[in-house]
Amino acid sequence: ALPAVVKAAEQSKPEPTKVDQQFTFSPNMPVSVQGDVKDPAQLAREIAPYLQRQFEEFSRQA
């Protein structure tokens, strides 16, 4: 008799509510170049550490 009561109690438990968590992050970081850039790849390499630090700061604040 007891196992039947336990099974009935298990069946009557409601399903836990499924929560779909999603976080969207899209920072806007415009870069303006005034003047001539002979090698865009070199410019990207030079500013990459600064941009990386900024992204890390954004992620800490989120």
| Per-residue pLDDT tens digits for 15-59 | 778 888 877 778 888 889 899 999 999 999 999 999 999 989 888
**CA 56 to each of CA 23, 44, 52: distance values in angstroms, whole numbers, following the listed order:** 16, 18, 6
Provide the pLDDT for residue 21.
80
Per-residue pLDDT at 43: 93
Q: Is the pLDDT of residue 1 over 90?
A: no
pLDDT at 49: 96
Q: For the whole model, what pTM was predicted?
A: 0.50
pLDDT score of 6 more than 80: no
Q: Which residue has the tokens 């009561």?
A: 5
